[in-house]
Amino acid sequence: MRRPPRIVFLTAALAALALWVVLDSRSRTGSSEMTAPVLPARPAMQGAAIANADGARLELPSRSAPGALKQDPFRTESWRPAAQAPRRRPAPVAPPLPFRYVGRVYVGAGSMVFIKQGAKLLVIRKGDTLDGNYLVESVGPTEVVFLYRPSRTRQTLRIGAPLEGARPAS
């Protein structure tokens, strides 16, 4: 039975390596006895002293007592950035009233107020909604109160005092 050439080659290489290690170790030491290295002399230090086989003293350096820890070494840390508080967008501010007072008409027990928005003439009563944003909250003898819905802000439009002899709105 023939062995594959790879196994023969590896076996021969392993044998050669083992032979080289054995011969090299004998040539370096000259003898099979091992000796401890000689350490240079050190100044006397506090601590325990130990003598080795050659009689040289080996000393352990002294250490100072550990101080108090500045922080807990077992605390948990996160590498994620700190969460920032969500920024609140400022509430929408009501724009200046786009209305101008034109006049008032008393009808029956109530009254109607005429206002102008740009070129449009509007007739308003309490509870009307203008442009989808302004709600007429109240119509008084000297003012009209609007609620700007997006910011829930109340705005007042001053109107002239009623004429003498005119019936006030009820």
Q: Mind listing the pLDDT tens digit for each residue in 107-128?
A: 777 778 899 999 999 999 889 9
| pLDDT over 80 at 130, yes or no | yes
| pLDDT over 80 at 74, yes or no | yes
Q: Indicate the burial class of 146 (C-beta count within 10 angstroms; 0-12, 13-18, 19 or more).
A: buried
- pLDDT reported for residue 4: 82
- pLDDT reported for residue 67: 80
- pLDDT reported for residue 42: 53
- pLDDT reported for residue 45: 44
Assessment of whether the complete model's pTM goes beyond 0.75 = no
Q: Residue 53 and residue 36: Cα distance in Å, rounded?
A: 8
Q: Residue 136 and residue 156: Cα distance in Å, rounded?
A: 10
- pLDDT reported for residue 101: 93
What mean pLDDT do residues 34-48 have? 55
What mean pLDDT do residues 41-46 have? 50
Instruction: Note the pLDDT tens digit of each residue in 87-111.
Output: 888 767 788 999 999 998 887 777 7
| pLDDT over 50 at 8, yes or no | yes
Q: Residue 110 and residue 23: Cα distance in Å, rounded?
A: 125
Contact yes or no for 106/167 (Cβ under 8 A): yes
Name residue, tokens 């039975």: 1
Of the ranges 53-62, 65-74, 144-153, which is most confident?
Answer: 144-153
